[in-house]
A and B are shown apart, each in its own frame.
Chain A
Amino acid sequence: MNLTLRVWRQAGPDAPGRFETYQATDVSEDASFLEMLDHVNESLIESGEEPIEFAHDCREGICGTCGLMINGQAHGPERATATCQLHMRKFADGDEIVIEPWRAAGFPIIKDLVVDRSAFDRIVEAGGYISVDTGSAPDGNLIPVPKEVADTSMDAAACIACGACVAACPNGAAQLFTSAKMQHLSVLPQGQPERYERAVAMVDTMEEFFGSCTNMGECEAACPKGISIDFIAMMNKDYRKGLMKTRRSA
């Protein structure tokens, strides 16, 4: 199949960007979206041009490195699918495809389609962990975890931190990411001691970088792991309680 690509090119963080048009020819239907870009890049290199920079790594939808705005949708048209798992058979011969980077103040552009998502690490550093030193853990079966709770925790923990939630959110908010990272721990018995301090610290850090939630649900629809916005509600509750509780312990 043959496609016309309009790709955002930007030489650096402060450089002006623009769309460039490329023809992708003889693309296999079985190719993944990123392989299609590889193919375009090979021909760019052959003709002496700089290839399109895009972030990617595992190419099996788990590392969360890839992420492109494809035709106005984070990770493209297929639901619950990361860009690397999107295949060209979802497009038709002759299609025009517009590719943009994630755009958010918290995700400054590094080059072309690559953005800096280190704000996510800052949110986790604020409290997205359980404070347990290596070696101090009791036997794993000492704390029974109801299966339903473990499953809920896993639903949240499935987050791959790709940033699609922020990219898709009309407000550039990171509520889905933050709540998933938080509730993964906060629903578990192990996560209770720090539950409310965690909520306050992570939300406060999140708000240094990202916008606010207006409950539109675009994040959930864009999430390659289908993480539910229920976790956002749970986070909001923990945050409110957290503010109360941190006062009490003052």
Chain B
Amino acid sequence: MTLDSKIPDAPLQDMWRDHKFNMKLVNPNNKRKFEIIIVGTGLAGASAAATLGELGYRVKVFTFHDSPRRAHSIAAQGGINAAKDYHGEGDSVWRLFYDTVKGGDYRSREANVYRLAEVSNNIIDQCVAQGVPFAREYGGFLDNRSFGGAQVRRTFYARGQTGQQLLLGAYQALARQVAAGTVELITQSEMLELVVVDGKASGIVVRDLVTGEITSHSAHAVVLGTGGYANAFYLSTNAMASNVTAAWRAHRKGAYFANPCFTQIHPTAIPSSDEFQSKLTLMSESLRNDGRIWVPNDPDETRAAADIPEADRDYFLERKYPAFGNLVPRDVASRNAKEVVDAGKGVGPLKNGVYLDFADAISRVGKQAVDDKYDNLFEMYERITGEDPFTSPMRIYPAPHYTMGGLWVDYHLQTTIPGLFAIGEANFSDHGANRLGASALMQGLADGYFVLPYTIGDYLAPMLGQSKVDTSASEFAMAEQAVREQTDKFLKTNGTRSVDWYHRELGKIMWDHCGMARNRAGLEKALSEIPALREEFHTNVRVPGSGSSLNSSLEKAGRVADFFELSELMCRDALMREESCGGHFREESQTEEGEALRDDDNFAFVGAWQWQGLGTDPALHKEQLTFDNVALSQRSYK
């Protein structure tokens, strides 16, 4: 099968408008004849469910959480970009598009990114109308900040809780539709199979996490807004339950998985304090505006940070990148931190971090000013570590944070399975090899509010008059059987080790070999270790309890099983991509100064993988990327 991205044949600026006109429409009175299943209630899923409900479709929305509002979009701190140019700085849709393509290191699709930039302004309007309490200036108008090194102020924010507020906006819109009866909300139910009938996505099989009941649900189309897969690394900034299961089960049913190796490592998380740490907490990237990053020169340094004289400190980012200093992009900052820690110069009890020092800023503007500027971040740091960052520097270290890869989708956000759509972080589109700050929220809401509701109509319109596949079809019975078998198998294995133990071990392999820097030998090693560990997992895991009540071990077992298979694909993809770009750094492909070196001649493509069965190598399909509007150039931050 060749990949058809269905990019309309029109100039970039007119493309989405023209395409909206050209797409088939479903008459408002006919919309109620179509049923749509949406899995996931984060920014993308909730906004899509609400909008489709408003349009009149009959929507069933599923979440494994106890409420739609718990989705991990809620944890995003920084903000959301839009090309409003409210400050007259020369921002525009074109500039946001340009920055996003460049920031993604030229591995994203121009058409999708342009559309994203185009609808960014509608998102802000919509959210304001919903009552999202964005920060305001004294005149009552919307406030903005510059974020992630952008040269214009285009980031809208609601304190340090922008994701929370945007999600609540979408959740409230969803709640309105639930009350109106257009959307049926099904909580604490996890999608465990996609059902494909006659080549089309026709429904899903879910397990009720409270009662253990396994049920089938059919619809005319299925939409996955199920988030990213950074938890493959075990320790990440993702929530504990964030998982790849829905996307992966769809992949196993034929949806291609694109660019799995494109993962983003965020430079400013709090380093883990012991082996039993369960997750990493992010500190806002904005701290790098005032904090200076350094490590001691001497790996055997034992003095407290404040007692180490200037001469014995290495401000490695300022030294290597005099122009950008501590504000180099996320991937550069992360890799350099790894380098010094690997060289034994890490700080803290486990020597697994670098200092982020505010002493200069405090002596320049005063403690109060620093505290005010960073709101509650200093307090949050102290709460977690027990150290006062006003007297000793913060310790930070990179952490897996976001995954640019995901299910391959065309311009319609449709996967390679007709009728199956993927939105938000679950798809691969828009961010290329690296996501810019404050763009994740933008993409999730763009897909859910302003893209999918149009494109799904184009798929549904020709199906008018066809009823959805009945759940009595044999495909549903088979899918239910597969879920039941897997559940039973986990409960019966009765091995010696917990699910978490295997997840931690998998995470270590991934972090060591498929983390911030990758090389052939490491990836090949990982590719031999992961299947072995996976085998052991399936024969030696211990899942206590029963399948007929709440059983978090059982839930996790299914998710970790999928992470095992995905991790292998991530390594395979990283091995295939013999270049460095964005968040993917192959040590073999770097400039003389140690910077990422792209290979546009050979790797300017999207790598979409087709499942061929466990133990069989997946097939790689390439979608060639063309850059007609943004000239390819090498990034430089010297």
Direct contact between A and B judged by beta carbons closer than 8 A: yes
Contact present for A59 and B278 (CB under 8 Å): yes
Query: B residues 76-129 with Cβ under 8 Å of A?
Result: 84, 86, 122, 124-129
Q: A57 to chain B: which residues have CB within 8 Å?
A: 65, 70, 72, 239-241
Contact present for A154 and B129 (CB under 8 Å): no
Contact present for B136 and A145 (CB under 8 Å): yes
Minimum Cβ distance to chain A for residue B505 (Å):
14
Query: A residues 57-112 with Cβ under 8 Å of B?
Result: 57-60, 62-65, 78, 81, 85, 87, 89, 110-111
Among residues of B, the one whose C-beta sits closest to the C-beta of A86 is B383
Contact present for B549 and A63 (CB under 8 Å): no
Contacts A87-B384, A146-B140, A188-B131 given; does A128 touch B239 at CB 8 Å: no
Minimum Cβ distance to chain B for residue A65 (Å):
5
Query: A residues 189-238 with Cβ under 8 Å of B?
Result: 190-191
Minimum Cβ distance to chain B for residue A187 (Å):
9
Among residues of A, the one whose C-beta sits closest to the C-beta of B173 is A129
Minimum Cβ distance to chain B for residue A224 (Å):
11
Among residues of B, the one whose C-beta sits closest to the C-beta of A139 is B125
Name B86's contact: one of A38, A46, A141 (CB within 8 Å): A141
Hey, which bits of chain B sit against chain A, CB under 8 A? Answer: 47, 50-51, 54, 65-70, 72, 74-75, 84, 86, 122, 124-131, 133-142, 158-159, 161, 164-165, 168, 171-173, 175-176, 178-179, 185, 187, 210, 239-241, 273-274, 276-279, 281-282, 380, 383-386, 449-450, 453, 496, 498, 500-501, 542, 544-545, 549-553
Interface of chain A, main secondary structure: loop
Among residues of A, the one whose C-beta sits closest to the C-beta of B139 is A144
Among residues of A, the one whose C-beta sits closest to the C-beta of B171 is A124
Q: A170 to chain B: which residues have CB within 8 Å?
A: none
A249 at the interface (CB under 8 A from B): no
A30 at the interface (CB under 8 A from B): yes
Contacts A48-B544, A57-B241, A85-B383 given; does A65 touch B65 at CB 8 Å: yes
Q: A191 to chain B: which residues have CB within 8 Å?
A: 131
Contact present for B131 and A185 (CB under 8 Å): yes
Distance between Cα atoms of A120 and B175 in the complex (Å): 11
What mask results when residues 132 to 167 of chain A are scored 1 for a CB within 8 Å of chain B, else 0?
Answer: 111111111101111100110110011011000000
Distance between Cα atoms of A118 and B210 in the complex (Å): 13
Contact present for A42 and B498 (CB under 8 Å): yes
A5 at the interface (CB under 8 A from B): no
Hey, which bits of chain A sit against chain B, CB under 8 A? Answer: 11-12, 28-32, 34-35, 38-39, 42, 44-46, 48-51, 53, 55-60, 62-65, 78, 81, 85, 87, 89, 110-111, 114, 116-118, 120-121, 124-126, 128-141, 143-147, 150-151, 153-154, 157-158, 160-161, 184-185, 188, 190-191
Contact present for B67 and A120 (CB under 8 Å): yes
Among residues of B, the one whose C-beta sits closest to the C-beta of A115 is B66
Minimum Cβ distance to chain A for residue B383 (Å):
6
Q: A110 to chain B: which residues have CB within 8 Å?
A: 210, 550
Q: A140 to chain B: which residues have CB within 8 Å?
A: 84, 124-125, 127-128, 134, 142
Contacts A34-B278, A120-B67 given; does A138 touch B129 at CB 8 Å: yes
Contact present for B125 and A50 (CB under 8 Å): no
Among residues of A, the one whose C-beta sits closest to the C-beta of B72 is A58
Among residues of A, the one whose C-beta sits closest to the C-beta of B546 is A50
Contact present for B274 and A11 (CB under 8 Å): no
Distance between Cα atoms of A146 and B136 in the complex (Å): 7
Q: B165 to chain A: which residues have CB within 8 Å?
A: 154, 157
Q: B84 to chain A: which residues have CB within 8 Å?
A: 140-141
